[in-house]
Amino acid sequence: MIDETDIKILTILQQNARTSNAEIARQVEMAPSAVLERIRRLEARGVIQGYEARISPEALGLGLLAFIFVASSDMSAELKTAEQLTRIPEVQEVHHVAGEDCFVLKVRVPDARSLGRLLRERISAIPTVRSTRTTVVLETIRESSQFPLRAPVSAVSELPGSIAEEVFHD
């Protein structure tokens, strides 16, 4: 179970995964060893799955973001199709979805020509891909990998004001 202290720790780490253990301990008013143990438990339970640096796609020359909707011709081979899609470096995310399409992909490429080549040479080349529909993003207003964290209802009154405002903002 995730308690209010875990929520505080996760909130801090989501905002900056490089926050030192000592600083986290200061903010949650615990000993550094106790905070380290909690973080290790959260990692062991798979709540914390890893730590990443957010890199500007534009700085890497990957200025075009698109979502590609993929329909598969063979429902029994969808797992194989998904596996092949995940191996394409330009594909950041693969989501298996319900509805007309089977998958939604998030891709980043340098330009429209690269997107066309990706569609023709990599995605449509997968034998089970029946069709694709592509939406090109004109501007990203908000993009985040952070989750809205909520403490158990009983813990609301116990959270310090600054943490409570960060955790319970809507």
Per the prediction, the chain carries an average pLDDT of: 89
The predicted structure's pLDDT at residue 124: 96
Verify that 109 and 64 share a domain, yes or no. Answer: yes
91 occurs within a structural domain: yes
Among residues 53, 68, 88, which one ends one of the domains? 53
The predicted structure's pLDDT at residue 59: 97
Verify that 47 and 90 share a domain, yes or no. Answer: no
Q: What is the pLDDT along the chain (170 residues), one digit of tens a residue?
A: 899 999 999 999 999 999 999 999 999 999 999 999 999 999 999 999 999 999 999 999 999 999 999 999 877 778 899 999 999 999 999 999 999 999 999 999 999 999 999 999 999 999 999 999 999 999 999 998 888 988 654 444 444 444 444 444 43
Q: Where are the alpha helices (H) located in 77-135, listed in sequence order?
A: 78-86, 112-117
Q: Residue 67: which residues within 8 A CB-CB, separation 6 or more?
A: 104, 105, 106, 107, 134, 135, 137
Of 24, 50, 22, 2, nearest in space to 163 by CA: 24
170 occurs within a structural domain: no
162 occurs within a structural domain: no
Report pTM: 0.79
Verify that 75 and 62 share a domain, yes or no. Answer: yes
Q: Count other C-beta atoms under 10 Å from residue 84's C-beta.
A: 18
Total number of domains in the chain:
2
